[in-house]
Amino acid sequence: MRKEKLQIAFLIGLIVFGLSFAYVTYLLQPQLASIKNKQSEITSKQEEYTQLSTYSANPYMLNKEIQTQEVELARIAKTLPSTLDKPVLVYNIYTTLKRHNLVSESLSFDKLETKELYSVIGLSFSALGSSKDIMDMINELQNSSDALVLRSVSFKAQDTGLKADLKLQAFARLGAKELKLKPHFMSVAFGIDSIPKLFSPAADAKATQKSILTIIPPTTVTPNPNKE
């Protein structure tokens, strides 16, 4: 009988402990976290209210803050490219991949979107190589002048190395158009005899004109003495 009572007491204690643990874990802690978040929101709103009250009492400070933000916005806008040129983006990405000994299977673009203050286009591509080369490539792309931002990346081990599927976004100034014209490295003068020269910026008009004159020399017209 005594043994049965001990077992019943142990069982009751175990049930009470389980219920208490469940209450603390699934009810009390979430509520405490929610209360803490609400308190943070209240503090943030109070700070905003205090700042707005200051601006209301002193319109000069508000105008000065607006001018400061406008200058900062203009500075940031100047750092964005003026166009979203797909061929140039493809060339820059594949050149970066090649420089880091990486191989890409595909590259695709999303539809151009126009936001309130900028234009953006998404792009996806894969890279196959070592993990170090992939990370170096990602860092270089994010620090490039193309204003690329990495949104997501997934890795998959393969027999030939590590495969990374990347999704990025390219940003440009507001009103930028999607260009599909030939980039400068597709318009080269005659006589280009090496790959580095082929993909270097196109020569100026004088160099192009000089190469054409070399191929088609000028002709000299001799007057006919018998013609009156």
Give the separation between CA 123 and CA 88, rounded to whole angstroms.
13
Give the separation between CA 178 and CA 187, rounded to whole angstroms.
20
Q: Considering the domain boundaries, does residue 134 fall inside one? A: yes
| Residue 175 confidence (pLDDT) | 58
pLDDT at residue 220 above 70?
A: no
**How many percent of the chain have pLDDT more than 90?**
11
Q: Considering the domain boundaries, does residue 157 fall inside one? A: yes
What does the chain come to in residues?
228
**How many percent of the chain have pLDDT more than 70?**
74
Helices (H) and strands (E) in the chain, counts: 7, 7
Q: Considering the domain boundaries, does residue 76 fall inside one? A: no
Q: Considering the domain boundaries, does residue 181 fall inside one? A: no
Q: Considering the domain boundaries, does residue 14 fall inside one? A: no
What is the span of the domain harbouring residue 99?
A: 81-173
Give the separation between CA 120 and CA 126, rounded to whole angstroms.
20
Q: Considering the domain boundaries, does residue 145 fall inside one? A: yes
pLDDT at residue 216 above 60?
A: no
Radius of gyration of the chain from its Cα atoms, rounded to whole angstroms: 33
Q: How many domains does the chain have?
A: 1
Q: Considering the domain boundaries, does residue 36 fall inside one? A: no
pLDDT at residue 166 above 80?
A: yes
How far from 156 is each of 103, 150, 217, CA to CA, in Å?
14, 18, 59
| CATH code: domain of residue 86 | 3.30.70.60
Is the pTM here over 0.75, yes or no?
A: no
Give the separation between CA 210 and CA 206, rounded to whole angstroms.
6
Q: Considering the domain boundaries, does residue 142 fall inside one? A: yes
